[in-house]
Chains A and B, each alone.
Chain A
Amino acid sequence: MRILRFVGRRLLQLIPVLLGVVVLTFLLVRVLPGDPIRSILGPNATEADADAARARFGLDQPMWKQFLDYLGGLFTGDFGTSIQSGAPVTGEMALRLGPTLELVVIAVTIAVLLAIWLGIWSARRADRFGDHTVRIFALFGNSIPEFWLGLVLILVGYAALGWFPAPSGRVDPDADLTPLTGADLVDALITGNGPAISSAAAHLVLPVLTLVIGVLAPLLRSVRASALEVLRSEAYAAAAAHGLPERTLLRGYLRRATLVRLPSLAALVFGTALGSTVLVEYVYSWQGFGQWALRGLLYRDYPVVQASVLIIAFAYVLVFLIADVVHAWLDPRVKI
């Protein structure tokens, strides 16, 4: 299969990038000022205590040895042990990844769908009132800091109107949700837990809305521009000049041609959203990956930082790979 070969080749290309990320992160966290061991020991700890702790985490080894050990661990899926918690990073990360991915994937999916719909709608009314309104609103949404928008939405949606649950968790604990993937809504759907589904969904509304508002504008701009380009293309004019009905035009000639350029932008948006959900997570008490990574960074929890950077980088490049495959699927002109 051509597509498999393409994916394979791209995966191979990822190796130097990810290796670069690993090396860079490894060096970076160690160059940063701050001692991870001191942050876990009490003020009364002696140097001997600190040395013992250092030895426990292998931080007494020479740098190259630490790196090789770490690299060796990576190949077996072992991201090391968190200095803060003493637990394996792999497990903690698995727990934290679900909530964030749930948030980002849902938000970006909604944003992309909304952008497609609104963008085409807007392009078909190019330069009329509706078009301007939609675009200006999207720009407004894009101009508000997410953390502030989050607070405003909480004030309105929770405190004033009381429509949404308290932003203190992701699912009602009384719903007795069995955690499987860490993504509450997914877990609730898998286990068919009705109350949990509605509770998880209700908790998702505001944070997802915050993210969607934040990322809609660039997607919308892109879809609208592509749609306009298609609408003004000779190809579309030809189809219209041959008297094809609206529906055929929209479905067969406008939509797919419009979406061709979207995947890579969507991937970029996804990557940015993944890297910056920490703000939204903070405001909505969403105990996800961003919070975990940032905390790790502030405490210089080396294995946590290394793992989180690597995972975000991996997710990032993976999403771009997916985007390229989708692009190739949408656009027959792309050779892969």
Chain B
Amino acid sequence: MPSETITREQAVTMLDIQDLSVVIHRPGRQVAALSNVSFSVAPGEVVGLVGESGGGKSMVARAIVGMLPSGSHATGRVGFDGADVLRMDAADLARHRGSGAAICFQNPRGALSPTRTVGRQLIDRLVTHQDMKGDRAAETAKELFAAVGIRNPARRLEAYPHELSGGMAQRVMISLATGCAPGLLIADEPTTGLDVTLTREILRQFRHAADTDGRGVLLISHDLASIAEVCDRVVVLYAGTVVESGPAAKVLREPAHPYTRALLRSVPDVGGGRVVATAGGMPLMTAAPHDCPFAPRCAHATDDCRSTRPETTMLDGDWSLACFHPQETPLAEAIAADLTTAATEPGDVVLKIEDAHVVYRSRFGSGGHHALRGVSLELRAGETLGVVGESGCGKSTLAKLIMGLVEPSEGSVEVAGKGVRKQSRAERTRAQMVFQDPIGSLSPRRTVGDSIAEPLRAAKVPAKERAQRVEAALGRMELDPSILTRLPHELSGGQAQRIGIARALVGRPDLIVFDEPTSALDVTVQAQILDVIADVASDAGHGSVFISHDLATVRGFADRVVVLYLGRVVEEGPVDEVFDRPKHPYTRALLGSAPRLGETRTADVQLVKDLDEADAATGCALAARCPFVTDTCRSQEQTLQPYGETRAACWRVPELTALIEKS
């Protein structure tokens, strides 16, 4: 790479990747994972590395610690404090790993050894890299745990990874990485799977590491919006190439590369903007590209783009770009222009849940897990109901309850006017579901056509008509009929989810439940699927329930929204009302934590600790986490009360605004 693209002073640079290319040779195939990647990280700096999966983000991280997969062929230079990681011998590499650069792995629970207490694992790092012994190591471990926000660190040191919640595990992972006292801290998708309230907290830890300890931080994420706040600079990867990099504020607000823009516009905005989908998917490179890899998906692509690879050019200061057609329109306007609202007339009641409780009994002995407590809902054809809440709040149980997959221990569920447990086989297909895991919800050894036709088979639709209807559903999903004979593992996530939606549609159901349908998908694909779902949900023939932990996705097309917390409905109402004027402190906290592009703000309500199911015993479910808790909250069960158009289960709603201002 031409050296003029590097503008930072070499002296202050810690990590300096230059022209790094990685090709992985596997029997029968070859993957160009990275092509001519260059960027750098200085001490005290937080750099975001963003892009969708397959873009090569993790490969960069692996190259930095010298752990490329076998069969990898790396060229270029991974400079670290003057040395080249790619040329280090085993001993140097052993020194470099951990104390030079330490990775926080993507899936903290998977990355913690399951058979060793987390304390031991931390002490192992301290002993190795900080040369500590016995008591001092234990003491330091405790301090490190406390530093990442683990309460009761002494007890937690004795815990095994499986005993930790996701957020706790991520904190432990961070402490393990910092325990190595690295120059560079690499965080690989540190917030994936975490609830919004936690995401901010975790990201703040990295900012903290850069600010107070002067470490360089490389923050890897597919989600530009969430890391935007903490990054100094961002590097956008697409198909193994750096398409854009520069100061975070600039790149996020005025992205010049069409891909960066597509990425940003694919992220649903909690403020009400609807996503704009970009067709297609990321190509898998077999060799370093000779054209612009984004060209096939790019609206601005010209013949140049399709034949020549754009050079990386400097726009301004740090801002570099690899594109022939840099865009200059501000992004926000572009979004606003696309915003539409669908309104439909409500029809018959298709779902009626009355005071439903669900308890999962443990197999032995007494007790059990109370997943839903007194939930009541009603939904009409043509309506779309959004259900939001953190993981563990009972969202999925609600979906299962509607589908008749779990039985209410109390209360009743009626779909299309008939009790769920009393349905015949054909009647059961009146409600359909779109699942979280698109590929996992398709039977691995059944063809796509088979899977789609399943509800029709149950409804005893004759074979000929079945084929017609399957084809029609497929057409609506804009899929080619040739896909019918394929098996699930041959599908991409986006294709599989379209199949899932087609299956749900094919039987012309009265109700469709979307259970986190996009959470497993990449951002641009997510946008595509959200587009499809919005279209499907606007049908007048059926009602839709859209369940998501991501508030923003719900806002796009739901008519009403329900906020669940620990199995209870804490707030419900028209979507705009709930989002724009939240009543319940929990809803406020959720909305406050949701990332917003281009805005840096703090939530008006901050919950005081991580979600813990044990808190739900008596009184208000949120009592243990609510900053405004009183004794009344702790002792009195809260029920939904009307506040304007919405209803919320909190007696302090009227005084909340004042309380928040005071704090």
**Which A residues lie at the B interface, using CB under 8 A?**
9, 233-245, 248, 252-253, 256-257, 260, 330-333
Contacts and interface: CB of A to CB of B under 8 A. Distances in A.
A288 to B, nearest CB: 37
Given A233-B110, A238-B103, A257-B114, A243 B129 contact: yes
Interface in B598-613: none
A239 B364 CA distance: 37
B110 to A, nearest CB: 4
A333 B117 CA distance: 11
B469 to A, nearest CB: 43
B115 A256 contact: yes
Contacts of B106: 234
A243 B98 contact: yes
A248 B116 CA distance: 12
Nearest to A127: B70
Q: Which 6 residue pairs are nearest across A and B when measured between Cβ atoms?
A: A243-B98, A243-B97, A332-B160, A238-B111, A242-B98, A235-B113
A236 B121 CA distance: 11
Interface of B: 65, 67, 94-99, 102-103, 105-107, 110-116, 120-121, 124-125, 127-129, 160, 162-163, 173, 176-177, 180, 364
B128 A243 contact: yes
A244 B124 contact: yes
17 contacts: A234-B105, A234-B106, A235-B110, A239-B113, A241-B65, A241-B98, A242-B97, A242-B98, A242-B103, A243-B95, A243-B96, A243-B180, A245-B128, A256-B116, A332-B163, A333-B160, A333-B162
Contacts of A234: 105-107, 110-111
Nearest to B364: A9
B97 A245 contact: no
Nearest to B96: A243
Nearest to B179: A242
B125 A242 contact: yes
Contacts of A248: 124, 127-128
Given A241-B67, A243-B128, A244-B128, A332 B102 contact: no
Given A239-B124, A244-B124, A332 B114 contact: yes
Contacts of B176: 238, 242
A243 B99 contact: yes
Contact of A252 (B65, B67, B120, B180): B120
A159 to B, nearest CB: 48
A120 B99 CA distance: 28
Nearest to B176: A242
Contacts of B67: 237, 240-241
B9 to A, nearest CB: 28
Contact of B97 (A233, A235, A236, A240): A240
Given A234-B105, A248-B128, A252-B120, A242 B113 contact: no
B115 A331 contact: yes
A13 to B, nearest CB: 11
Given A243-B99, A243-B128, A331-B115, 14 more contacts: A9-B364, A235-B114, A238-B113, A238-B176, A240-B67, A242-B103, A244-B124, A248-B127, A252-B113, A253-B113, A256-B116, A257-B113, A332-B163, A333-B114
Given A243-B99, A243-B180, A260 B115 contact: yes
A241 B69 CA distance: 13
B90 to A, nearest CB: 10
Nearest to A242: B98
Contacts of A333: 114, 160, 162
Contacts of B103: 238, 241-242
Given A235-B113, A332-B114, A242 B102 contact: yes
A202 B554 CA distance: 76
A244 B98 contact: yes
A333 B110 CA distance: 13
Q: Which of B96, B111, B113 has the most CB of A within 10 A?
A: B113
A328 B526 CA distance: 41
Contacts of A239: 113, 121, 124
A242 B115 CA distance: 18
B556 to A, nearest CB: 34
Contact of A330 (B98, B115, B364): B115
A241 B364 CA distance: 41
B116 A253 contact: yes
B113 A236 contact: yes
A242 B364 CA distance: 41
A72 B127 CA distance: 62
Contacts of A257: 113-116
A236 B113 CA distance: 7
Contacts of A256: 115-116
Given A242-B180, A243-B97, A235 B112 contact: yes
Nearest to B125: A242
A238 B94 contact: no
A162 B107 CA distance: 60
Q: Which of A242, A253, A332 has the most CB of B within 10 A?
A: A242
Nearest to B97: A243
B177 to A, nearest CB: 7
Contacts of A243: 94-99, 102, 128-129, 180
B456 to A, nearest CB: 41
Q: Which of A9, A260, A333 has the most CB of B within 10 A?
A: A333
Nearest to B65: A241
A237 B103 CA distance: 10
Nearest to A237: B67
Contacts of A253: 113, 116
A180 B353 CA distance: 72
B451 to A, nearest CB: 31
A331 B99 CA distance: 30
A256 B160 CA distance: 13
Nearest to A259: B115
A135 B489 CA distance: 32
